[in-house]
Amino acid sequence: MAYPPIMTSIKRSILLALITLSFVNPVFSEENRHLLDDSKLPVQGNSISHFVPSGWSTESISEQDLNGDHKPDVLLSLIEALAHQRSNEIQPTRHRALVILLRTQSRGFQRVAIAKRLLRCTSCFGMMAGEEGGGADIMFIKNVIVIEEQWGSRETVKTRLRFHYDHSTGRILVIGEDIERFDRATGEQFIQSSNFLTGVRLLKHAQLNQNQNRIINISSKKQRISKTKRFIEEMDYAHYD
């Protein structure tokens, strides 16, 4: 049976929409994730640009003292350097990495961490992202590195991860983790807030009252958790999906 031109056009539009949705929040297997190659980065360098390898570009740079020596250290967010498509085409997935550099006495830089799985890729944010894809908020708050990401559509997830420089190991330690899951249709909210320094986790169940425009607490409880040290290189955004 031959379909009239208008029906063929509609079928093509539906097919294109389904294909587009399949790229909204892809799940990448380890072999398909374009992870930054550690061997392409020096351990020390005289310039931040020395830590940006071929095939990658600088997405953001933040500076603040991390180790208490009163020198501005660096959070270098890298993103794959892929060409942008035209506005009516699906943008390519671009992976990210976070490189942390300490300022040296000679005004150069010492690499202390490469977090290759911490930051979500551009197409890993679902409908919460725009045409160019989503990204993380990377901040310094009182010598603590804070990284926030939010993704999803009707059901959204927001993570807030906290790190600081651990003098005993010379590495970047995970000290806190907040996970908030929210149903935008029902207003139901679940929050898990973990402090790995004190070994305490707070679990909270709440509900948005749309008539009163406020959050109503349903239940909350505390748990004891392990204080085992974890470092920024171990963090993987896929763990929260």
pLDDT for the residue numbered 100: 98
Between CA 147 and CA 63 the distance in angstroms is 14
pLDDT for the residue numbered 126: 84
196-221 burial string, b = 16+ CB within 10 Å, else e? beeeebeebebebeeeeeeeeeeeee
Between CA 167 and CA 169 the distance in angstroms is 6
pLDDT for the residue numbered 33: 75
pLDDT for the residue numbered 34: 83
Between CA 45 and CA 237 the distance in angstroms is 29
pLDDT for the residue numbered 19: 36
The stretches in the chain having pLDDT less than 70 are 1-32, 83-89, 128, 130-132
pLDDT for the residue numbered 96: 96
Type of residue found at 105: Q
pLDDT for the residue numbered 13: 41
Q: Which element (helix H / strand E) includes 194?
A: strand 188-195
